[in-house]
Each structure stands twice: as structure tokens, then as C-alpha cells.
Amino acid sequence: MFTFPSPPPNPPLTHEEILRYSRHLLIPEVGLDGQRKLKGSSALVIGTGGLGSPVALYLAAAGVGHIGLVDFDVVDSSNLQRQVIHGTERIGQLKVESARQRLLDLNPDIEVTAFNEPFTSENAMRIAGDFDVIIDGTDNFPTRYLTNDVCVLLGKPNVYGSIFRFDGQASVFYAKEGPCYRCLFPEPPPPGLVPSCAEGGVLGVLPGTIGTIQATEALKLLLGIGDTLLGKLLLYNALDMSFEFVKLKKNPNCRICGPNPTVTGLIDYEEFCGVPGHGQDIGSAGAGWDITAPDLAQRLQQNHVRLIDVREPHELQISALPGAENIPLGQLAGRLSELDSAQEMVLFCKTGSRSSRALELLLGAGFRKVKNLQGGINAWAREIDPSLPIY
């Protein structure tokens, strides 16, 4: 069972708090002692997006005394389909500030610390050091490996959740007593293989399901009750409404929590995952293979360029470029015979990320007269044709 360093005795509850937490105090597994434990405990929520929203809301409502929030983004209208901690009036505000205000409205008796910065190898140990449990609500591989390694090195439990379209995963990683994230995923997938939610989409309620499971596990850890997901991975599929569990064991060859670790401090996680760092341009194929939207507009007026749209067919209903042919990225490798390497081609998708991978595939197949529309059809909508929606 977990034991946390929150020094006994835990703080007493005021009369107002006793009324507020009345429904917890009635449960014998929580009771007055448990509620005081929560008041004396702390949780760090990394990411205030789809997962971080329900996690932070429920931990605040439950009376976890100190909640830390890490994010560096601002609220965007495309967040609000799932990031329920924010609101329309908060568009353009810092996410951590928007979330902090909402949490303090829900529960003014707790302390909320907002870290308006990306979680990096430079600040992670300092930020995480003060908290009892760490909740991984991040949206990218580098930060997930970083979160894991920080938790292993600091000896803290990592409440993991991850989502894609209709699929969700959740677990508790805690190297002192079981496996860590690297035991299950020793290596990240090659960049671009797994689409992000921004590229692949996500059912808005899915992070609600997975985030509330993470909040449940965090509360159980802080209270020291029940059986957690330590040593188990939950696999949820919203379409099938299936919950499956697989067993996880400590990997004896784990590079950070095995008996002979090779990772003994934080590393460069962007390099480890082969992806660009925070704030760097995505949707670019790099090394002269990009074309900007204005350059493409000019080129189209001068001579014939074959436009290949590598998005999924259902995305063409949202926006489309006249004359473009649709070959979804997943089909491209099997349809190379439809393309002519002597002809000039420009590939595009929503943001330039999938078309960059399509471009790599074509370069690998010997094509050279091919470019990637930097920023995708969204850049075209922004810079050339405002009649198209941005999504």
C-alpha cells in the first residue's frame, strides 16, 4: 500500500468543510480521517486539456488540498468540444489561469498553483517535487516519457491516461511497487505513425471517461484505499463499450526502473522520440520540400500542378481545393501507380503533418517533383481563401 509523506496529523476540517464534504464523510472508506488526508495531500495535473479537465475538476471537488496545473497553451475554441474546465468566455486566456479560476470557483478552500510553462527536462523535477501524485494528462510522446522518468526518479506514482478517437488507456505506474510506462512502452513509435488528436480527432466525451478514471485512481492512492490499476492496463473502447484489462509486469530490462538502468537522469525527450520541440513548426516536411500557400497560389496560376489531398474522404466535406485528387495517406503506398514521377505534385492535408509523411513515402519511392503544402488546407484557408472553414 502506498504511503505518502504528508506529515500527520492531517489538517482538521472547518464546519464549512464538513458540510461541503458530507457525502464523503458518510462513506466509511473515506470518513473524517480520509477527508483530512485529502486536505493534507497534493496532486500535479500535467496538461489542462481533455484529460486534465475532468481530473482537475474532480480532485478539486473532492478536496485535494493542493493542486498543481501545468500547461503553456491558451484556450482555443476547438478545445471546448472536450476540455470542459474552460469556457467560451475564456478563449484566448492562458489555460492554467482559466482552469485555476474554475477550480477555485468550484472549491475556494483548496490551493491551486498554476505553472504556465511547458513541462521540460529543465523544470520537471522542480515542479513535480512538491506533489504526492502526478497525473499524466499530456498529449504527446516526449512529455509522456518525461513524466514517467520524473516519477521514477522521484519515487512518485504516475496516474496514466491516454486517448485516441474512441480508444482510451489508463494505468497506475509506480516503479517502487510495479511497472513504469517504459516497462510497457520501452520505445516510442516512429514520429508520425500515431496521429495526434489534432490530426486524427477524438470523441469529446472520451477524455471524460478516461480522466474520471484517472481522478478515481489518484484519490484512491491519496486515501490509501482499494485496488488500483497498478500492474494492470485498462483498454477502453467507446464504440464497442468494452473495458478490457491486461496484466503489466515490471520489465527486468527496463532502461529506467530495471536493476541495471541506463537512464539515470532526465534526457532530451524530443530527440528520444524524434519529434520537433515545443513551439517548433509542425506540418512542415523540412529541407526545401515545403511550399507555402501563397507560393502554391502563384504556381497554380502559372502552370499545371497536380494536387493530391491525402486526408480521409470524410474530411473533404469540411473543406476542399478545386481540382485536387483524394488519395488518403493509408492508401498511398498501394496507389503509387496512379502517380507520375515526371509530373509536378503538391501534397496536402489538414495541417501539413500527414502530407509530410506522404511526401517521405514518395521520396522513398523515388519521386522528386513533389512538395508539401506547409500548414495544410488550414493555411490555405487562412492565407488565400477565407471562404473555407478552418478546422
Partner 1 sequence: MTTLRIPTPLRPYTEGQGELQVSAPTVGEAMRELVSRYPALRPHLFTEQDDLRSFVNLFVNDEDIRRLDGAGTPLSDGDRLMIIPSIAGG
Does 47 bind partner 1 (CB under 8 A)? Our answer is: yes
Check: CB of residue 38 under 8 Å from CB of residue 64: yes
Catalytic one of 183, 254, 257, 349: 349
Does 248 bind partner 1 (CB under 8 A)? Our answer is: yes
Contact segment (CB under 8 A) with partner 1 among 23-31, 126-134, 280-288, 323-331 equals 323-331
Catalytic one of 151, 180, 197, 254: 197
* 3-class DSSP assignment, residue 85: coil
d(CA 68, CA 123): 14
Does 274 bind partner 1 (CB under 8 A)? Our answer is: no
- Pick from 52, 285, 26: which is nearest to 162 by CA? 52
> Site mask, partner 1, residues 207-226, x = CB under 8 A?
x-------------------
Contact segment (CB under 8 A) with partner 1 among 6-14, 33-41, 185-193, 289-297 equals 185-193
> Site mask, partner 1, residues 144-183, x = CB under 8 A?
x----------------xxxxxxx-x--------------
Does 278 bind partner 1 (CB under 8 A)? Our answer is: no
User: For residue 82, which phi and psi values (nearest 5 degrees)?
Assistant: -145, -20
Alpha helices in 50-201 (DSSP H): 52-62, 95-106, 124-128, 141-154, 181-184, 197-200
Does 231 bind partner 1 (CB under 8 A)? Our answer is: no
Query: Which contacts of 71-79 are long-range, i.e. CB under 8 A and separated by 24 or more positions?
Result: 71/47, 71/95, 71/96, 71/99, 71/115, 71/116, 72/116, 72/117, 72/118, 72/278, 73/49, 78/391, 79/49
Closest CB 187 distance from partner 1, rounded Å: 5
Does 282 bind partner 1 (CB under 8 A)? Our answer is: no
Does 68 bind partner 1 (CB under 8 A)? Our answer is: no
> Site mask, partner 1, residues 122-141, x = CB under 8 A?
--------------xxxxxx
Does 54 bind partner 1 (CB under 8 A)? Our answer is: no
Q: H or E element: which one contains 309?
A: strand 306-309
* 3-class DSSP assignment, residue 156: coil
Nearest-Å Rg of the Cα atoms of the chain is 23
d(CA 87, CA 48): 13
273 labelled catalytic? no
Pick 171 or 378: Cβ nearer partner 1: 171
Does 246 bind partner 1 (CB under 8 A)? Our answer is: yes
Taking the CA atoms of 131, 135, 138 and 141 in sequence, report the sign of the dihedral they define.
positive
197 labelled catalytic? yes
Check: CB of residue 49 under 8 Å from CB of residue 137: yes
Give 7's DSSP letter: P
Does 237 bind partner 1 (CB under 8 A)? Our answer is: yes
Indicate which single residue of 27, 205, 333, 363 sits in contact with partner 1 (rule: CB under 8 A): 333
Indicate which single residue of 186, 286, 323, 389 sits in contact with partner 1 (rule: CB under 8 A): 186
Pick 31 or 195: Cβ nearer partner 1: 195
* Active site residues per annotation: 197, 349
Name the site residues for partner 1 (rule: CB under 8 A).
47, 49-52, 136-141, 144, 161-167, 169, 184-189, 193-197, 200, 202, 207, 233, 235, 237, 240, 244-249, 251, 312, 328, 330-331, 333-334
